[in-house]
Amino acid sequence: MASGIFAVLDDIAALMDDVAVASKLATRKTAGILGDDLAVNAEKATGFLATREIPVLWAITKGSFINKLIIVPIALILNAIFPIAIKYILILGGFYLAYEGVEKIVHYLFHRKKEGHEVIQKDVEQGEIAENAKIKSAITTDFILSVEIVIIALGTVLEQSLAIQILTVSVVAIIATVGVYGIVALIVRMDDMGYSLIKRSNDKGFAAKFGHALVKLLPWVIKSLGVIGTIALLMVSGDIFVHNIDYLHHMLPSLPGIVKSIAAAIVGGLLALGLVTVGKALFGKKEKAHA
């Protein structure tokens, strides 16, 4: 009896060792996507009132966990019974990310700048609606990026047993969520940490200087994240297109990969933006006609 229990424990230990090795490899493979995920989600988690930053971030984090609870089993099932579906899901997700990236660029270039009073008034009137919309957008973007992370992680253990596949993908999904949103939480609370250091040091010494630096750096960090997040959206979506659409993969082989990816993302984003704009115009007319 005892020998049987020890044999089971040995099997579990061996399985955990295999999972640890596979998880390390999968995490390394997804490092680039995790970096993009961090930039995108940090940008989406900023821009709220200080009192709402943590509640909003927690709402997005919960949404991210739910996303992965949905994605992991579906990815495993599809990989077993209909693997080609994963490719098309990735491409559709790529169009969504490209749309978000291009839409941000178009908005920045052509959107009319509002006066400060007008912006404040709009925020007061529509604060809760705008907050919910931004949370929903962040969770949707997280879903697409999570699909990419899960698929890449799964691709590193395709030759392993089903148990190792399940555990490895689950470990990577948890690391991705906790790691990314933990760092995002630190970023959005930079100014509060700075003010705390200033207060505790009575605005004297190195701690106070470091606190002032954190406070001054936050606006620059937020602006930088906006740019980096947009570039990340384009790069991730472009990589999805280039790696999953054979025509694009073999097109212009001498062109640097990053240039090809961003070009593919811009074209895909413009197409998606055009379709969305036409759709809004058509459905808008129908709604007005019914009204």
Confidence (pLDDT) at 120: 41
- DSSP one-letter string for 63-92: HHHHHHHHHHHHHHHHHHH-THHHHHHHHH
What pLDDT does residue 211 have?
A: 85
Q: What is the pLDDT of residue 97?
A: 81
Checking 274-282 for CB contacts under 8 A at 24+ apart, the result is 276/99
Domain positions in the chain: 16-290
DSSP class per residue in 11-23: HHHHHHHHHHHHH
pLDDT number for residue 284: 66
| Type of residue at 10 | D
pLDDT attached to residue 2 = 47
C-alpha–C-alpha distance, residues 252 and 105, integer Å: 25
Spatial contact of 168 and 153, defined as CB atoms under 8 Å apart = yes
- pLDDT digit string, tens, across residues 3-60: 555 444 444 555 456 556 566 655 565 555 666 666 666 666 666 666 677 788 888 8
Can you say whether the dihedral through the CA atoms of 44, 180, 196, 58 is positive or negative? positive
* Residue 49 DSSP one-character state: -
Can you list the residues of the chain whose pLDDT is less than 70? 1-51, 111-127, 158, 284-291
